[in-house]
Amino acid sequence: MAPSIWAWVARVLDVFVVAAVIYSLIMLARGTRAWKIFSGLVVFGGVFLLSDLLQLRTLSWLLGKIVPLAPVALVILFYPELRYFLEEVGRVQFWQSRLSFLPRESVRQLINEIVRVATRLSSRKVGLLIVIERDEGLDDLIATGVGLHAEVSAELLDSIFHPGSALHDGAVILRGDRLVAAGCVLPLTDRPDVGPEIHTRHRAAMGVTERSGALAVVVSEETGRISLADGGLLHRDLSGESLRARLVEALQPDGKVAGRIPFTLARRRG
């Protein structure tokens, strides 16, 4: 009796695991280039079955020659998404953030400096992009910039993003309470549902937070508005105090890092 019960439980577990994997893949693909590719594959499969049912021999033969190449084509087409999925699976959420090793007062001071420079540059409509590393290292992005390894201060950040500075157009990456690199190049979000009013600096902030557990503070040089990107979500039109509140909530020094959240735009106004 016991083996039959176990066989029943195994079948249920098997179906549940497969459903969970498929659901996770669909959720990761929604709104991305992979979703359009997946839709195209569904249409291709439908045409292939329909051509066979309607006995369209030439079309069925042609599509049949393409089907054996599908495994290789799928790996090539979905390579970025497969890599991202494996990174998501491999990310250990219970590892403590690098910020968790800082005293509470140091985290508070870090937030104060970020808020100071963000509000200062906002009033002058000077562009700014600060990435705050959390539970996942950003060494590959740090390597694209200029290493500084300096103490974080509003004055230093102000000088880096001053118009005309060689590092003005890149991103600054913070690790703990240190500014480790400036002038870094970030990946841009490739989500098709991002409107044209979201410019390059904001797309970069969304891109880096989609692919890691980092936070990104942005100041628009067109409008001077302050935004915060977290997990692909862009919180726009923040005041200094609202930015401070969100940073305090996200950068908890007890190691509890805010989890990733689905992509959306908090406000779509330009």
Domain boundaries, the chain: 2-90, 98-250
How high is the pLDDT of residue 102?
A: 63
pLDDT at site 240: 93
Mean local confidence (pLDDT), 181-190: 91
Q: Where are the beta strands (DSSP E) in 133-261?
A: 146-151, 171-175, 178-184, 215-219, 226-230, 233-238
Of 25-34, 71-80, 259-268, give the lowest mean pLDDT range: 259-268
Sequence-distant (≥ 6) Cβ neighbours of residue 107 within 8 angstroms: 99, 177, 251, 253
Q: Range with the lowest mean pLDDT among 75-84, 125-134, 171-180, 251-260?
A: 251-260
The chain-wide mean pLDDT, for the chain, equals: 79
The pair of structure tokens assigned to 110 is 């870090």
pLDDT at residue 99 in the model = 55
Q: What is the mean pLDDT of residues 16-25?
A: 78
How many CB atoms neighbour CB 31 within 10 A?
19
* 96 burial level (CB within 10 Å; 0-12, 13-18, 19+): middle
Overall pTM > 0.85: no
Question: Is 60 exceeded by the pLDDT of residue 27?
Answer: yes
Q: Summarize the confidence of residues 172-184 as an average pLDDT.
A: 92
Torsional class of 31: left (φ above 0), alpha (ψ -120 to 50), beta (otherwise) = left
Per the CB < 8 A criterion, the answer to whether 237 and 149 are in contact is no
For residues 139 and 234, give the distance between their C-alpha atoms in angstroms, rounded to a whole number. Answer: 23
Q: What is the mean pLDDT of residues 94-111?
A: 67
Task: Assign domain 98-250 to a CATH class.
Answer: alpha beta
More confident residue, 161 or 137: 161
Least confident of 118-122, 137-141, 226-230: 137-141
Per-residue confidence (pLDDT) for residue 250, from 0 to 100:
87
Q: Which residue has the higher pLDDT, 250 or 76?
A: 250
Determine the average pLDDT of the residues in 18-23: 78
Helices assigned H by DSSP within the chain: 2-29, 33-53, 57-66, 70-77, 79-90, 104-124, 139-142, 154-160, 200-210, 240-250
The predicted pLDDT at position 266 comes to 38
Instruction: Check residues 81 and 189 and name the one with the higher pLDDT.
Output: 189
